[in-house]
Amino acid sequence: MTNRIDEIDLSATLDKATSIERVAAAQHRLTQLRLFSAGLIQPDVVAPGLLVLFEGFDAAGKGGAIRRLTASIDPRHVRVVPIGPPTAEELRHNFLWRFQPTIPGTGGMTVYDRSWYGRLLVERVEGLIDNATAMRSGEEIVQFERLLVDNNVTLVKFWLHMSEKEQLKRFKDRESDPLKQWKLTPEDWRNREKRSAYLDALEDMVETTDKSHARWDLIPAESKHYARAAVLETLIDRWVHDLERRGLKVPTPREGDYLS
């Protein structure tokens, strides 16, 4: 898988029926892995916490991917955290301070809908921080993620990528659907006008923070059906690899599960 934005294959697609089949198989495997990591299959084995974070352009399908990721997992066993702008209290601290309470402990699982990478994207593009601060913040993120991984957290990072044309189509679909209009804000339209600046910031972000202990998985999201299956299958691969790297014997997939 590429770690360059300009090499993402946006032509990747999947028909709906195949996507549904692959998502269902992946969900079965994810449920098994989640129960195992929580110590509910082998009570004497509790795995590192799992932290999955999602970034991507507005309307890239983060919400849909997260819903499918968590759909088969008991709500008691996963925490989904939507990340918005920092509060006045949070702004008094280092930008990473506010994430500490939701970092999963051993046997836990947290999913971030956006993350600390807002520092290198929104805050940088909007001029809330200067380039020097952005560079320093990128280094702090690398160190922070290393700290997490070294302290019993499996970290998986997704960027969902789409073209400007596809984004406009999805914006218009939301605009015309009364049940989806709430998802589209003036801020979304304004951010769209700054796509070039966001792409520059995104390239710098990936170059700075794609490290061996915390790789970026850049997912083509032009096709929602493809992206949903790719996210779940990639997560399984990353999760199993990290568990085995730490010396854990991961349960064999059940019949019909996605084979990692």
Largest CA distance in the chain: 53
- State the average pLDDT over residues 203-216: 97
Say yes or no: domain 5-245 is CATH 3.40.190.10: no
Sheet (strand 109-113) strand order: 79-82, 109-113, 49-56, 153-161, 216-220
**What is the structure's pLDDT at 258?**
84
Residues above pLDDT 70, as percent of the chain? 99
- C-alpha 118/C-alpha 68 separation (Å) is 23
The torsion of the CA quartet 116, 122, 124, 125, rounded to 10 degrees, works out to 160
In the chain, where the domains are located: 5-245
**What is the structure's pLDDT at 4?**
87
Single-letter amino acid, residue 165: K
- State the average pLDDT over residues 235-253: 97
Query: Is 70 exceeded by the pLDDT of residue 231?
Result: yes
- Residues 169-191: tens digit of each pLDDT: 999 999 999 999 999 999 899 99
- State the average pLDDT over residues 31-56: 97
Secondary structure (3-state) at 1: coil
**Token pair belonging to 48:** 């590192």
User: Confidence class of residue 1 from pLDDT cuts 50, 70 and 90?
Assistant: low
pTM of the predicted protein model: 0.95
- Residues 6-21: tens digit of each pLDDT: 899 999 999 999 999 9
- Residues 115-165: tens digit of each pLDDT: 999 999 999 999 999 999 999 999 999 999 999 999 999 999 999 999 999
Q: Is the dihedral of CA 184, 186, 187, 188 positive or negative?
A: positive
Query: Is 80 exceeded by the pLDDT of residue 97?
Result: yes
The backbone torsions φ and ψ at residue 206, rounded to the nearest 5 degrees and listed phi first, read: -65, -45
